[in-house]
A and B are shown apart, each in its own frame.
Chain A
Amino acid sequence: NAGVTQTPKFRVLKTGQSMTLLCAQDMNHEYMYWYRQDPGMGLRLIHYSVGEGTTAKGEVPDGYNVSRLKKQNFLLGLESAAPSQTSVYFCASSYHYLQGSTEAFFGQGTRLTVV
């Protein structure tokens, strides 16, 4: 049971570099989310998607872009990494509330360090 899989698990970037984080879910979920978690804080929503081909901004979207070209994948891009983006990134997915259980499932996280 794969559930929600994030790649990579760890990454170190230099300031100004770009990268893409991949989130894949095999549960046919409509909703997908990207969060970041900083020390002493809860998770904050970066961007989310309510279905294939749709994306929307969350609480802290600046400096990030996302794409949902396929239902099972949600990509998070950093165009020009900054030290302030050093964080642990979590992806999550869930069913649409009309489909049944609305429990959110999370990936194991990507630890990103920008130097």
Chain B
Amino acid sequence: KQEVTQIPAALSVPEGENLVLNCSFTDSAIYNLQWFRQDPGKGLTSLLLIQSSQREQTSGRLNASLDKSSGRSTLYIAASQPGDSATYLCAVRRGTGGFKTIFGAGTRLFVKA
């Protein structure tokens, strides 16, 4: 059974700092991995999608990496801003069995001005 773990559960950093959010998964037979952002009381916004054959994806100040063999992904946020404050969710998609997406519990990020 696929399990997804995100560390840390919460993180507080000063504005301008570079930071890394971690995601680990137990079953390396994934189809893709997706990072989402969720603001309080809101839905999910997709940030980056990494296919299983890819090693990383970049969008602006965000960079996500994937190491399937070790069951790990990281989301790197450069030059953090108060507007980055949100919960970040990692989700892995199975390649079989209905193509289900399994989520981690998320990392709550607070960027202090």
Check B105–A42 contact: CB distance below 8 A: yes
Chain A residues, CB < 8 A from B31: 97, 102
| B99: contacting residue among A31, A44, A105, CB under 8 A | A31
Given contact pairs A97-B31, A102-B93, A106-B44, A45 touches B99 in the complex (Cβ within 8 A): no
Q: How long is the Cα–Cα vector from A56 to B100 in the complex, in angstroms? A: 11
A25 contacts chain B at the CB level, 8 A cutoff: no
> Distance in Å from the Cβ of B4 to the closest Cβ of chain A?
7
Can you offer 25 A-B residue contacts whose CB atoms are under 8 A? Answer: A33-B101, A35-B103, A40-B105, A42-B4, A42-B6, A42-B89, A42-B103, A42-B105, A43-B89, A43-B91, A43-B103, A45-B100, A45-B101, A45-B102, A48-B98, A50-B99, A58-B100, A90-B44, A102-B31, A102-B93, A104-B91, A105-B46, A106-B44, A109-B42, A111-B41
Residue ranges of A at the interface with B (Cβ–Cβ < 8 Å): 31, 33, 35, 40-45, 48, 50, 56, 58, 90, 92, 94, 96-97, 101-109, 111
Check A104–B43 contact: CB distance below 8 A: no
Chain A residues, CB < 8 A from B6: 42
Q: How large is the interface on B (under 10, 10 to 19, 20 to 34, 35 or more residues)?
A: 20 to 34
| B105: contacting residue among A41, A58, A111, CB under 8 A | A41
> Distance in Å from the Cβ of A53 to the closest Cβ of chain B?
14
Check B43–A106 contact: CB distance below 8 A: yes
